[in-house]
Amino acid sequence: MSPPASDPASAEESTEAGERKLRYELIRHRLRQAIVDRRIVPGLVLLEGPVADVFGTSRVPVRKAFHLLHEEGLLQKFMGRGYMVAPRGQQVEPLRLPIDEASLGQDAQDATIYIPSESERIYSEFEQSISAAIVFGHFRIDEAQAMQHFSVNRGALREVLSRLVDRGLVEKSAYAAWRAGPLTARAMAQDFEVRLLLAPAALRESAPKLDAQFLSGLREVLRDPAAVDTEELLRIESQIHDTCLAHHPNTKMLGILRQCQMPLIVHQTFCRMFHQPVHPALIEEYRQIVEHLCEGRFAQAAEALAAHLQAARKRTQQQLKVLAVLPEPPLPAYLVRIA
């Protein structure tokens, strides 16, 4: 029988089952290891609330971890709230001490457990599948199939879809259907035109606020082109076209730029379908932009970005022509072609 809807704990577990399962398994593992290594003093009384605070989570996964450790014989119940750290059958006096990282045998810097939300967990794969599909046509996104494919609830799925709408990859039709594509040469040319008009100006304003350590890291990577593989290149590309512009005060301008993703999508799809060496000219274009930024030459950095976009427009036009004649790759079932 399913738990009653009025039970908050049951509702939380059913709503975020995947995330909670990961959390309680991690908490169980950490506490178990600390108990076995005797980093937790025998008899220590464990309460859900304080332990949840240490791990940066809710009480639900802590409660589950306690239950499993009790079944395993590492925690005992006693005449009081919570559980007591003691092997099954061992007589130990309850010890009530403040619960913190040290008393739980955890490193203070690493105690908090970070588990990506369900939407974060699926975003990258979802984005890549949409990006690949729209090169080959117009698709409807079947929510039920997508929820089954990713094992997520509707809320997490729609959070991802809304983010993809913001990036211009997905649109919501008047009939409440989510659609993607098609990616056309005209749409790509329009996005390039907008980026050429706005991106250099955005970089000029944003550049003085960029973190020096971030820029130094980019410069170091770009000094050794041979070490830059496809995924590293795409990461650099995202930082140049997104992170480096993100400090511009005009949020409307940034929103328009986020909507103009077609040029980046074509390049990313091409790179992932054809595992070719990274184009030296592209690395050099990015290196010049970053060098100017590192040296505080912000106007020159903006000019270098404009020159890069001009060169990228020609490269991307050729890439789109190549992709257009390829057979459609296998796509997930949640992407339904629109005739």
End-to-end CA distance of the chain: 44
Q: Mind listing the pLDDT tens digit for each residue in 43-101?
A: 999 999 899 888 888 888 899 999 999 999 999 998 888 999 998 888 888 999 999 99
- pLDDT at residue 108 in the model: 66
Q: pTM of the full predicted structure?
A: 0.64
Query: Looking at the predicted structure, is the pLDDT value of residue 1 above 50?
Result: no
| Mean per-residue pLDDT, 192-205 | 96
Q: How much is the average pLDDT of 123-144?
A: 91
| Residue 219: per-residue pLDDT | 93
User: Does the pLDDT at position 300 exceed 90?
Assistant: yes
Q: Please report which helix (H) or strand (E) contains residue 269, including its range.
A: helix 262-273
Who contacts 71 (Cβ-Cβ below 8 Å, separation ≥6)?
Answer: none
- What pLDDT sits at residue 135? 86
DSSP of 96-122: ----STTTTT--TTT-SPP---HHHHH
* Res 209 pLDDT > 80: yes
The whole-chain average pLDDT of the chain stands at: 86
> Mean pLDDT throughout 14-31?
68
Q: Say yes or no to pLDDT of 18 above 50.
A: no
**What are the structure tokens assigned to 308, written together?**
């890069």
The pLDDT of residue 19 is above 50: no
Length of the chain (residues): 339
Q: What is the pLDDT of residue 207?
A: 96
What is the C-alpha separation between 153 and 151, in angstroms, rounded? 7
Assess whether pLDDT exceeds 90 at residue 3: no
The answer on pLDDT for 233 being more than 80 is yes
- The alpha carbon of residue 294 and the mean position of all alpha carbons in its chain are separated, in whole angstroms, by 27
The pLDDT value given to residue 115 = 63
User: CA–CA separation, 84 vs 87, rounded Å?
Assistant: 9
Residue 339's pLDDT band (boundaries 50, 70, 90)?
A: confident
Say yes or no to pLDDT of 310 above 90. Answer: yes
Q: Cβ-count burial of 128 within 10 angstroms (0-12 exposed, 13-18 middle, 19+ buried)?
A: middle
Strand partners, 171: 179
Q: CA distances (Å), 176 to each of 45, 194, 219, in order?
A: 52, 28, 45
Q: What share of the chain is helix, strand, coil (3-state, %, to 5)?
A: 60, 5, 35
- Per-residue pLDDT for 16 more than 60? no
Beta bridge partners of 180: 139
pLDDT digits (tens, 9 = 90+) for 28-42: 999 999 998 899 999
Q: Which of 108-117, 135-144, 207-216 has the lowest mean pLDDT?
A: 108-117
**Rounded Cα–Cα distance for residues 255 and 159 (Å):** 17
Tens of pLDDT, residues 139-177: 999 999 999 999 888 888 998 998 898 888 899 876 768
Q: Which of 290, 121, 122, 298 is nearest to 218 (CA)?
A: 290
Number of H helices, E strands in the chain: 14, 7
